[in-house]
Structure 1
Amino acid sequence: MAALGRTARLLLRSSLTQAQRQLSATAHGGHSGLAAKWRMLSFLIALPGVGVCMLNMYLKQQQHHTHERPEFVPYAHLRIRTKPFPWGDGKKTLFHNPHLNALPDGYEGDE
């Protein structure tokens, strides 16, 4: 019985050391070809793709540069202010755009 236990331990130990050797060899440089392939794909496909998308959005923005301000309609359920905002005069939101965002009583500058 003791001989069987020793043999099992010896086999288990040898299989573990082989697995550790294979893992360390793979981590050391076994996938260098795969890494180079992904690096080339990133430079040749991904970066030009991002550049084309940026150019597309820039050209679309130049084409639609002027934005018309929507007509102000005083709906009761929009722009409800139960208490003032803690900054500025209390009427404007934190990211207020006077050209596009209306206050409760209308756009700024419209009389």
Structure 2
Amino acid sequence: MASLGRLSRAVLRAPLAQARQLSAAAGAHGAHEGGSRVWKILTFVVAFPGVAVCMLNMYLKMQQHQAHYVQPEFVPYSHLRIRTKRFPWGDGVKSFFHNDELNALPDGYAEHEE
């Protein structure tokens, strides 16, 4: 029984001593100085221009897609757009995130007045 007590104390002390060594090493500055400066430079030189290039690419592809977009023909499938009761907003037929150009109503696309 006494050996079990000594063993448990030794096991409990080992991580504590190791943690003390690690925390003492963290206090020494030396090789890790200037790390935030490197990340700041990388943010402005790599990250922001990378995001800008991705946004430009997305915008140009969207413009290209809209130039030749044709609304698909409406097919009144019986299993789609089932309404058992009216929506509690608006006219009760359109969903909350309804888009007249992309989403069809139960009886077809909404007609646009241009």
Question: For 1:85-104, what aligned pairs fall within 5 Å after superposition?
Answer: 85-104=87-106
| 1:42-57 correspondence to structure 2 within 5 Å | 42-57=43-58
Give structure 1 stretches of 5+ with no counterpart: 1-14
Instruction: Indicate the residue corresponding to 2:8 in structure 1.
Output: none
Distance 2:75 2:44 in 1: 51
Return the offset for 1:18.
7.6
Distance 1:97 1:106 in 2: 13
Aligned Cα root-mean-square deviation (Å): 2.8
CA distance in 1, matches of 2:19, 2:83: 69
- Structure 1 runs (4+) deviating above 2 angstroms are 15-26, 29-32
Q: How many equivalent residue pairs?
A: 97
Once the two structures are aligned, what percentage of the paired residues are identical?
59
Gaps of 5+ in 2: 1-17
Distance 1:62 1:19 in 2: 55
TM-score (norm 1): 0.70
Q: Following the alignment from structure 2 to structure 1, what is the Cα–Cα distance between the partners of residues 88 and 52?
A: 41
- Deviations along 1:10-56, one digit per CA (max 9) or x if unpaired, are xxxxx998866654555xx9744111111111111111111111111
TM-score by length of 2: 0.68
Cα distance in 2 between the residues matched to 1:48 and 1:96: 34
Residue 84 (structure 1) shift: 0.7
Q: 1:80 aligns with which of 74, 79, 82?
A: 82
